[in-house]
Amino acid sequence: MGLTYDLRSEYLAQGFSEEETAEFDRDETIAAIEEAVRAEGYATDRIGNFRGLISALTEGRKWDLVFNVCEGMHGMGREALVPALLDAWKIPYTFSDPAVLAVSLNKAMTKRIVRDAGVPTPDFAVVETPADADAVTLPFPLFAKPLGEGTGKGVTPSSRILTREQLGAVCSTLLETFHQPVLVETFLPGREFTTAVVGTGAQARVIGTMEVIFLETAEAHAYTYVNKEYCDDRVRYELLRGREAEQCESLALRAWRALGARDAGRIDIRMDAWGNPGFIEVNPLAGLHPQHSDLPIICTMVGVSFQQLIHWILESAIRRVGP
């Protein structure tokens, strides 16, 4: 089994910043994945990032299955690059295909798909130029973030917007900083959750849902980049149960299936002022650090080991591609 990944330490050594590499994996994450894959009875081959994959493919190396967690560095198709290469060589892999990964990175396209499937999500607009901000007609308060980033990149306390002047200033800053459109959506003031899903299509099921509770030390209003990076001091996680969990999990499964996501991932959800859950975004390549990533944290909360999670991911992928 091949392992494709973006190692954070390698990019930091090349001069990239902490924020630029925020979505990439730590050395201990890849070691934990490899150990768990080997415990399932597979030999492993560390391929690395897309450059390593291109070299390996041109050398003629083959794998029965590739465990892919590559996020990529540049462009809106960066998460789709490795799966697209593997598809071209007819090599099966874990997690979603290039179409799903490309669409899900674009938060506006994702919201259009889930909205069309009847999944509630906040109203939104896409700002591509500073002038576009003046044309936004959504009622305040609003929330702004880069269209195609993860791990809270570009999300700060200023992302919650109360005035038109603030909207123009925040959008201009994000456009200049991230060189991509800005998603502006209705701000949901309620509680925040993330739901873990495993499986594909009709076989997809919820592992559990946890609430993200911001401590007094946290940045206000959102699960910001800083809150995620320093979650031990700023955030508390609690397993959600009861009717609210059922509402979130029903929404998450509908969104997961509508998008065609595969094997495992997360759906982020936030409630409006009346306690109704709304879809925020999907993470079809969820982090897999055994102790610090949300998906394994939820598994731990419900008594599922990291080994069992990896088993379920492999089981789902193998069921799709055959023995």
pLDDT digits (tens, 9 = 90+) for 224-245: 878 787 788 888 999 999 999 9
The DSSP element (H or E) to which 126 belongs, if any, is: strand 124-127
- pLDDT (mean) for 88-116: 97
Percent of the chain with pLDDT over 70: 100
Give a yes or no: residue 99 inside a domain. Answer: no
266 φ, ψ (degrees, to nearest 5): -135, 150
- 126 strand-pairing partners: 183
Same domain as 314, residue 199: yes
pLDDT digits (tens, 9 = 90+) for 8-17: 999 999 999 8
What's the Cα-to-Cα distance from 235 to each of 216, 223, 229, 286, rounded to whole Å? 9, 9, 10, 19
CB 279 within 8 A of CB 267: yes
pLDDT at position 311 is 98
**Final residue of a domain: which of 169, 186, 203?**
186
Same domain as 255, residue 202: yes
pLDDT at position 150 is 84
Same domain as 13, residue 79: yes
**Final residue of a domain: which of 71, 93, 115?**
93
Same domain as 167, residue 213: no
pLDDT at position 20 is 85
**Final residue of a domain: which of 93, 112, 134?**
93
pLDDT at position 256 is 98
DSSP string, 270-304: EE-TTS-EEEEEEETT----TTTSHHHHHHHHTT-
Q: How far apart are CA 212 and CA 294, in angstroms?
A: 10
Indicate if the pLDDT at residue 50 is higher than 90. yes
- pLDDT (mean) for 307-315: 98
Same domain as 74, residue 12: yes
Q: Give the CATH number, domain containing residue 204.
A: 3.30.470.20
Give a yes or no: residue 106 inside a domain. Answer: no
Same domain as 35, residue 143: no
Indicate if the pLDDT at residue 151 is higher than 80. no
Indicate if the pLDDT at residue 133 is higher than 70. yes
Same domain as 195, residue 144: no
Give a yes or no: residue 110 inside a domain. Answer: no
- Hey, what long-range contacts does 236-241 have (CB within 8 A, 24 or more apart)? 237/210, 237/211, 237/212, 237/213, 237/294, 237/297, 237/301, 238/210, 238/211, 238/213, 239/208, 239/209, 239/210, 239/211, 239/298, 239/301, 239/302, 240/193, 240/208, 240/209, 240/210, 240/211
Collapsed DSSP state (helix, strand, coil) of residue 265: strand
Q: How far apart are CA 282 and CA 255, in angstroms?
A: 8
What's the Cα-to-Cα distance from 110 to each of 191, 196, 201, 311, rounded to whole Å? 22, 18, 17, 28
Range of the structural domain that residue 277 is part of: 189-321
**Number of structural domains in the chain:** 3
Q: Give the CATH number, domain containing residue 134.
A: 3.30.1490.20
pLDDT at position 215 is 87
Give a yes or no: residue 98 inside a domain. Answer: no
Q: How far apart are CA 110 and CA 47, in angstroms?
A: 30
Map tokens 């038109």 to a residue: 164
pLDDT digits (tens, 9 = 90+) for 107-121: 999 999 999 999 999
pLDDT digits (tens, 9 = 90+) for 205-230: 999 999 999 888 888 778 887 878 77
Same domain as 181, residue 287: no
pLDDT at position 103 is 96
pLDDT at position 18 is 85
Paired tokens of 25: 């994996």
**Which amino acid makes up residue 312?**
W
CB 221 within 8 A of CB 159: yes
Same domain as 310, residue 210: yes
pLDDT digits (tens, 9 = 90+) for 153-192: 888 889 999 999 999 999 999 999 999 999 999 999 999 9
Indicate if the pLDDT at residue 323 is higher than 70. no
Give a yes or no: residue 265 inside a domain. Answer: yes
Same domain as 196, residue 174: no
Give a yes or no: residue 68 inside a domain. Answer: yes
Q: Can you list the alpha helix ranges (DSSP code H) found in the chain?
A: 8-13, 27-39, 50-58, 81-88, 98-105, 107-116, 130-134, 164-178, 225-229, 231-234, 242-259, 294-301, 306-321
Same domain as 128, residue 215: no
Indicate if the pLDDT at residue 59 is higher than 80. yes
Q: How far apart are CA 211 and CA 219, in angstroms?
A: 16
- CA dihedral of 168, 171, 173, 176, whole degrees rounded to 10: -120
Same domain as 18, residue 7: yes
User: Could you tell me which of 7, 12, 28 has the C-alpha nearest to residue 71?
Assistant: 7
Q: How far apart are CA 141 and CA 39, in angstroms?
A: 50
pLDDT at position 235 is 86
